Amino acid sequence: MKLTNKIEAILYLKGEPVSLNQLALYADCQRSQANEAIVELIAEYGHRESALEIVETSAGYSLQLRTSYQGLIQSLLPAELSTSLLRTLAAIALKQTILQSELIELRGSSAYQHVQELISLGFVKKKSAGRSFELSITDKFHQYFEIDQLPEI
């Protein structure tokens, strides 16, 4: 197994910065060999037209997405949802369609902010329904939570 490939695999699997000493330990090689391999990898990634790059940080070396591809993160990676946000989303999902005024009665006034956040994340859509809004879940909700169908309540 080629040392540069092994170090590349280590950086990929760790998913966080790895010091040169740790790289040598994980790759079962000398520190100087790990240093040569990481320098070679950095040069290789520098010449490739790849979406990935290897960077050195104060915490070590890291395999990461190039800055020009950072916009994809928002649309493709799972969002971190707080417990209260998840509860608001669950209330909307279980009702399948709910008036915002009804949701506010169930969840309290903080649900206004939750609704805005869930819309911006793409999990909820709203349409005008008289003096309130009708809220429902989107296809992104189904994809994210891998739920094809919700139970009727």
Give tens-digit pLDDT for 68-122: 877 676 566 556 788 888 889 989 998 889 999 999 988 888 889 999 999 988 8
- Average pLDDT score, the chain: 86
Same domain, 52 and 97: no
- Look up the pTM and report it: 0.52
Give domain status of residue 53, yes or no: yes
Q: How confident is the model at residue 149 (pLDDT cuts 50, 70, 90)?
A: low
The full DSSP string for 71-129 is HHHHHHSPPP--HHHHHHHHHHHHHSEEEHHHHHHHH-THHHHHHHHHHHHTSEEEEEE
Residues 68, 82 share a domain: no
The domain of 88 spans: 78-145
Total number of domains in the chain: 2
Domain containing 54 — which CATH number?
A: 1.10.10.10
The reply to whether 89 and 51 lie within a common domain is: no
Whether residue 115 is contained in a domain is answered as yes
- In this prediction, residues 24-35 reach a mean pLDDT of 96
Co-location of 83 and 137 in the same domain: yes
